[in-house]
A and B are shown apart, each in its own frame.
Chain A
Amino acid sequence: MNIFRFAGDMTHLCSIVVLLLKIEATKSCAGVSLRTQELYAVVFVSRYLDLFFTFISVYNTVMKVFFITSSFCIIWYMRHHRIVSQTYDREQDTFRVAFLVVPCIFLALLVNHEFSMVEVLWTFSIYLESVAILPQLILLQRTFNVDTLTSNYVFLLGAYRALYILNWLYRYFTEPGYSQWIVWSSGTLQTAIYCDFFYYYVVSWRKNERLSLPS
């Protein structure tokens, strides 16, 4: 494992921890899309089914279990926590996730490495992860809420994607025969969407700053 991959995993992990701490500390999930969080849970569960079939390393297993449990933890807070659930913007968070899930299912059935249950589910999770941030992006555009989505959370998510691209470049040049077109193309799309997300974040932040300045 190279330093880019490890740093990417750590920033991904930190982004989730930051989001959880934020929800726990402020007892609020205003501005957080439950639909995006649920898509991430679907992504992790469908991708990490191989926990039952293959062992790669202790690191790998621990991280997979962390991603699955933490995503369900965020969902639990947003749906069932007595105080936090009342702060959820359910009227604004209306993105139709079927528009993302259904095309990803078909694409995974058509374009995959091997037509088997586990492999198609893995491919589906790669495609779905690349677009799972969209409900969050739409919610941010609607509410212009930057109070709960801290600059840290957005920064860490973006950093995670950027570091994974560096990891792929590094592996491509150092590991003979290393190539994974499905992951590369999906990852590039995902990074482009995150750049858009970051752009709206900056716009929202600047707008909020103007509004909060004394006249």
Chain B
Amino acid sequence: VRGVAKHDEL
């Protein structure tokens, strides 16, 4: 899996 996803949701 490619990198850490940006967790901008709550």
Contact = CB atoms under 8 A, between A and B. Distances in A.
A114 B4 contact: yes
Q: Which of B3, B5, B8, B10 has the most CB of A within 10 A?
A: B10
A63 B3 CA distance: 26
Contacts of A9: 10
Interface in A40-93: 50, 56, 60, 63-64, 67
Contacts of B7: 50, 122
A119 B9 contact: no
The DSSP consensus for interface residues of chain B is: loop
Contacts of B4: 113-114, 116, 119
A112 B10 contact: no
B1 to A, nearest CB: 5
Interface residues of A, number: 20
The DSSP consensus for interface residues of chain A is: helix
A5 interface: yes
B10 to A, nearest CB: 5
A183 interface: yes
Determine the interface band of chain B, counting residues with CB < 8 A from chain A. Answer: under 10
A119 B2 CA distance: 13
Interface string A98-124: 000000000000001110100100100
A119 B3 CA distance: 10
A161 interface: no
Contacts of B10: 9, 12, 60, 63-64, 67
A180 interface: yes
A35 B7 CA distance: 26
Interface of A: 5, 9, 12, 50, 56, 60, 63-64, 67, 112-114, 116, 119, 122, 164, 167, 180, 182-183
